[in-house]
Amino acid sequence: MDVRSAESLSYPFPDTPAPGEVVEVAPGILWIRMPLPFRLNHVNIYLIDDGEGWAIFDAGIGNDNTRAIWETLAAGPLAGRRLTRLIVSHYHPDHIGLAGWLAQRFDLPLQMSQTCFLGCINISLSPGALDAQPYRDFYLRNGLDAKTTAIVTTQGHGYLKMVTALPPTFNRIVAGDTLHIGGRTFAVLSGDGHAPEQLMLYCAPEKLFLAADQVLAKISPNVSVWAVDPLGDPLGLYLRSLATLRRDLPTDTLVLAGHQLPFYGLHTRAGELIAHHEHRCALIEEACRTAPRSAADLVPVIFHHPLDPHQMSFAFSEVLAHVNYMVREGRLLWTHPENGIARIVTP
Ligand SMILES: [Zn+2]
Ligand SMILES: [Zn+2]
């Protein structure tokens, strides 16, 4: 056993910043919290001393409340120092939502991955695309009922309500790049699984890791298969990313994550997340040993409480991530569809 992974998580900053306030988590690195109108009710944003002002890591969701808090911050805790640039970790609305507005309001260059930029633009160019028949068929073929299928296939419109339009140009950054922010250098890392090409920043001399949603202290980040890439293996990519982070980053790294508290214990947490997914894989494998199951059949194997259609759509997509992963690993097989529904068995 790796003795370093025996440590437990610790939280050096247990007091969360109130909306419009900042907490300094390292010299010249400020932590901000923006409210979210969901059960997960906040997102973390970090400001990094960039010499003449502050670089921003993630924007918050695109709504009036978050706009007002940015104005409060600019007039209050940040007064006298301008904002210099905006770096966006991934295209989920809680992170990229206000990026277009912030870039325009404060005249900021926008730095993100090409996947993030194009992913966001793609939804805004054709919000109805998710409604197409091949996407509907994907959910129905995997055993999802018609009502949930209707909700899942119209999610593109919901996304646009939470995201302001991006500017026509951006500054692409990729894994392996080095970003000079103020006096610091950050390695740009990317990790898949939660979102394609999610970017993270690592400052080696100070062991500071801006992890976005890849590693959170207490939540298992959503890892889902979507209809556009029905055979995709986001869970395999996610597990690979966790293994890479454990290999490359030291155990006493301060993790500045996209939600919940900053923490120490990266190796422990990565190990817990890997074990969590392996446990789910084992439950699915066990259920498929006795009879062929569709992905929808397997949802109650993993999720024991009643789910509304929205929760069901995420639960289903998570289950399918485990199925696709295990099919690639040779632990499960697809059977020939019966009555239009695809089912999985153990070999
Ligand atoms: Zn996310
Ligand atoms: Zn998030």
Q: What is the DSSP string of 47-78?
A: EEE-SSEEEEE----SSHHHHHHHHHHHHTTT
Residue 5: the pLDDT is: 44
pLDDT band, very low/low/confident/very high, at 135 (cuts 50, 70, 90): confident
Using the mean position of ligand 2's atoms as its centre, give its distance from the Cα of residue 70 in Å: 18
Using the mean position of ligand 1's atoms as its centre, give its distance from the Cα of residue 214 in Å: 8
Q: Which residues contact 284 (CB under 8 A, 6 or more apart)?
A: 298, 301, 302, 319, 322, 323, 326, 332
Where are the alpha helices (H) located in the chain, listed in sequence order? Answer: 64-75, 93-96, 99-105, 114-125, 133-141, 146-152, 155-161, 234-248, 266-290, 295-302, 309-328
Residue 70: the pLDDT is: 98
Strands 254-257 and 208-212: parallel
Residue 155: the pLDDT is: 66
Using the mean position of ligand 1's atoms as its centre, give its distance from the Cα of residue 79 in Å: 30
pLDDT at 165 over 90: yes
Using the mean position of ligand 2's atoms as its centre, give its distance from the Cα of residue 89 in Å: 9
Residues with CB under 5 A from ligand 2 (ion): 94, 213, 258
pLDDT in tens, 170-214: 999 999 999 999 999 999 999 999 999 999 999 999 999 999 999
Nearest ligand to the C-alpha atom of residue 119: 1
Nearest ligand to the C-alpha atom of residue 238: 1
Mean pLDDT of 85-105: 98
Which tokens is 345 given?
Answer: 């068995």
pLDDT band, very low/low/confident/very high, at 147 (cuts 50, 70, 90): confident
Using the mean position of ligand 2's atoms as its centre, give its distance from the Cα of residue 13 in Å: 19
